[in-house]
A and B are shown apart, each in its own frame.
Chain A
């Protein structure tokens, strides 16, 4: 990282040297006398970086290139190279802006990699601390090298680019139900708590008679320093893993208090500008009114865009590839629109929450994944950059002035008032909450009130003319932010452990819980109805129209999760018997999972010609080779394929698999009725009523080997989402059918982490027989008994 930093410094030096030799190009050059101007926030520029970067390029390193402007030196240098064609040219100014940005991103990312090199280190020190320290170091380097601070956390950059990514990510993936369940508490803390903090801090600082600044300044400072910061909270709490309720309360508070902060900030700024003596009563009311407008407006903007997004994604079936783009664009536009109207932009988390529900239902699986990972990547990078810049900005001494009294008082006050505020509000809240927040929760909550980059950006935005004490404020803010993020971040983990705070258990949801929780919701609604209350559940259930397939999706997710965990487990004791002969002909004994499947596709006769493309196996990551049974090589103890393992194999391949396994063995066993085939075939035919042709086709054409189901399953997979849903629906269904076959011969050595199915084998006959009647061509007894085969070996 240091190398990169040095490289950055050398680049402009090099640029200057060659710049002097090259005809000057680009608008970014400016005279060396004006670099300080370029450091100020320039919202007009597309990014803060060019302003900064151009200052860098106008470094005192080279005199010739930067002097005076492009005109004269260019004229002076032209004669040098008037003639020839230059094979390689140094086009620094051309690529300058994106280059610098990319380099910064690279530095941030490499920093992250390096942190995680040491496992022990990362568990103790939260990432945010490390990033700030790194920023400090980098800032120091830059300062030393160039005697002047070149990079700052530009508030425009922060508010326009960095914050939206984080907030968008937070909103989109917010657990909506938990959020709304605790909304009362969250709102209380956000509004009341922040107001309390702001006023108390401001008044007390003023009362301490520091700096001789007036009340308004202190109130302003109190407003911006008292807001809990979402970035910092996310960064620190992410590593601590407290239970969800606690996290959502603190995090929700940090998001929603933005409205309060924005209003207070603006109100006080205008008061400061006007002068404290001119403030009238009406202005206070305007302040309150503007709070309402800001908060409600921000929420509304978010919701409007969420609706638009949901609406648009309904029609994107033909353009799946740009679906993620819609999501990002609209979420970002929501943010910018809120900023446009000076509303609280962070409240567009509601956009994310609202959009999530509809969008997830509308877009394809791949788009969902894309959205998820891109958002998380961007948010992570933004967070990294923010912390690094925080560190860098701290080093610039010219921006701040130290006042010990102010700093220490501020620290004390914010901690004190936060604690008091939390305790007071919790006491009131507990009278209304179902799940009271106990002392430990309160401790964590007050300790977790971290300040972060938002406060810093706001303080940098202050106008030094109006607020005379700005530099002191900047220094104090830096110290406060550092203190909370680093000290509190470092100590919160041991604190949480010491207090035995209930951690998030990461428990896997079971289908039982889902079912019963749903039933409970209905029960509670019923109770409320009976008792004549229009309670929370009453309203919640009224909006249950979008909770249709939640249970089913939960079911699928559980299955998928089981499949993945089984892949991880089966790698150990349980293995599929590597049939020697034919298996080897596949290539290598340790061939990859995918390859094995592909390899078997063509091995199955005729009707499977259709399956050219690999069936996407949604859950199993191809990288899990080491866990895979098939990699274990030949001759491994062959207990069986565990029941669970059968689940991971896509339904359409199960037949192929069984076929191939059976073909490996020459053992003949009494053919059991080919049950597994039928449920799938018939179920598919029932569900896929819209495409009967594709069913009957292969079915009719296939040899009586029960291969057709596999065959026409493949084309299914390639289709769009609604079909995918059916496909996925069938898979667990049929795999459920498969289980009874397996369970009867439960393999000895396989770890049975999920409870083993113990359904009596007889049960499978009933639905299968019924379903069999729906199938046109009764397949031969090929597939069924072969599923037994591996277990017998």
Chain B
């Protein structure tokens, strides 16, 4: 579902990123590309499955294809990922961004870490904690002091995630 020209371009990009020409990318390669991004490391981590060290080209394309804008634009975010492929919906990618240990919940510490990375130099520790506290308060419906995936989605139900997380480059 990706055009050949795009594939070619992505392949070139893949090779460019692949510094040691091993045919697959390690996390360091990707992180190097995202050096300026405050949460670059996390993003890379979110892309990799647990325990996976390398990303080969098909997986690379698949990951980027997560961010293709979908056709149904006015509905809520597509909940069911394609069962056949490994594709996840964008919101689960975002969720994994926070939830590094993949336990299915975002705890306060995890949230704090993300906030610190995003805002670290500009906001003090207390402020970060207040923000994190407030965020958990708002989203937390089952009173367990963490945010599970459903709560995460619910807190963002007004935000059309598919719109937000789509980049038009794989037409």
Residues of A participating in the B interface, judged by any CB pair closer than 8 Å: 432, 434-436, 438, 505, 507, 510-513, 515-520, 522-533, 535, 537, 541, 548-549, 551-552, 555, 558-559, 679, 683, 686-687, 729-730, 732-733, 736, 739, 754-760, 767
Contacts and interface: CB of A to CB of B under 8 A. Distances in A.
Interface in B72-112: 73-74, 93-94, 97-98, 111
Contact of B140 (A524, A687, A755): A755
A733 B127 contact: yes
Given A530-B34, A687-B124, A759-B145, 10 more contacts: A512-B155, A515-B118, A523-B97, A526-B34, A531-B64, A535-B167, A535-B169, A730-B126, A755-B140, A758-B143
B54 interface: no
B139 A512 contact: yes
Given A516-B156, A755-B137, A434 B168 contact: yes
Contacts, number: 161
Contacts of A434: 69, 163, 166, 168
A757 B129 CA distance: 14
Nearest to A521: B164
Given A517-B159, A530-B64, A522 B123 contact: no
A736 B133 contact: yes
Nearest to B137: A757
Q: Which of B119, B126, B139 has most A Cβ within 10 Å?
A: B126
B38 A522 contact: yes
Contacts of B168: 432, 434
Given A512-B138, A522-B39, A435 B163 contact: yes
B131 to A, nearest CB: 5
Contacts of B143: 758
B137 A528 contact: no
B33 interface: yes
A729 B166 CA distance: 34
25 contacts: A438-B74, A507-B158, A512-B135, A515-B114, A516-B156, A519-B94, A522-B37, A522-B40, A524-B167, A526-B37, A526-B44, A529-B33, A529-B37, A530-B13, A531-B13, A552-B123, A552-B127, A555-B131, A559-B134, A687-B124, A687-B126, A733-B129, A754-B137, A755-B141, A759-B133
B165 A758 contact: no
Contacts of B137: 739, 754-759
A513 B2 CA distance: 31
Contacts of B141: 755
B67 A527 contact: yes
Given A512-B155, A552-B131, A519 B10 contact: no
A732 B130 contact: yes
Contacts of A525: 37
Contacts of B40: 522, 526
B94 A520 contact: yes
Contact of A522 (B33, B67, B118, B159): B118
Contacts of B119: 548, 551-552
A524 B159 contact: no
Contacts of B126: 679, 683, 686-687, 729-730, 733
Top-9 shortest CB links A-B: A512-B155, A532-B13, A548-B122, A758-B143, A526-B43, A733-B130, A757-B137, A520-B164, A733-B126
Contact of A513 (B38, B127, B159): B159
A529 to B, nearest CB: 5
B138 A754 contact: yes
The interface residues of chain A, by DSSP majority, are classed as helix
A438 B141 CA distance: 35
Interface string B10-53: 10010011000000000000100110011110011000000000
B115 interface: yes
Contacts of B124: 686-687, 729
B155 A510 contact: yes
The interface residues of chain B, by DSSP majority, are classed as helix
Given A519-B39, A527-B67, A513 B122 contact: no
A529 B47 CA distance: 14
A492 to B, nearest CB: 22
B123 A516 contact: no
A755 B133 CA distance: 12
A511 B169 contact: no
Contacts of B169: 528, 531, 533, 535
B167 A528 contact: yes
Contacts of A559: 134
B167 A533 contact: yes
A511 B147 CA distance: 14
Given A436-B73, A555-B130, A515 B156 contact: no
Contacts of A507: 158
Given A436-B73, A520-B164, A558 B122 contact: no
B158 A505 contact: yes
Contacts of A524: 67, 164-165, 167
A760 B135 contact: no
B115 A522 contact: no
A432 B10 CA distance: 20
A516 B161 CA distance: 10
B3 to A, nearest CB: 14
A512 B156 contact: yes
Nearest to A757: B137
Nearest to B136: A759
Given A683-B126, A733-B127, A736-B130, A435 B73 contact: yes
B135 A511 contact: yes
A735 to B, nearest CB: 9
Given A434-B69, A507-B158, A512-B156, A517 B139 contact: no
Contact of B43 (A523, A532, A533, A551): A523
A535 B126 CA distance: 35
Nearest to B67: A527
Contacts of B37: 522, 525-526, 529, 541
B118 A755 contact: no
A519 B114 contact: yes
A686 B73 CA distance: 48
Contact of A510 (B111, B138, B163): B138
Nearest to A536: B167
A530 B134 contact: no
A435 B74 CA distance: 9
Contacts of B93: 523
Contacts of B44: 526
Contacts of A510: 138, 155
A605 B69 CA distance: 64
A600 to B, nearest CB: 26
A66 to B, nearest CB: 66
A515 B44 CA distance: 19
Contacts of B97: 519, 523
Contacts of B10: 531
Contacts of A522: 37-40, 43, 118
B70 to A, nearest CB: 11
B40 to A, nearest CB: 6
Contact of A517 (B30, B123, B164): B164
B14 to A, nearest CB: 9
B131 A551 contact: yes
Nearest to A526: B43
A34 to B, nearest CB: 64
Contacts of A533: 167, 169
B131 A515 contact: yes
A532 B16 contact: yes
Contact of A530 (B9, B17, B73, B135): B17
Nearest to B171: A431
A91 to B, nearest CB: 60
Contacts of A519: 39, 94, 97-98, 114, 118
A555 B134 CA distance: 8
A30 B114 CA distance: 75
Contact of A516 (B34, B64, B94, B145): B94
Contacts of A511: 131, 134-135, 138
A530 B159 contact: no
Contacts of B130: 555, 732-733, 736
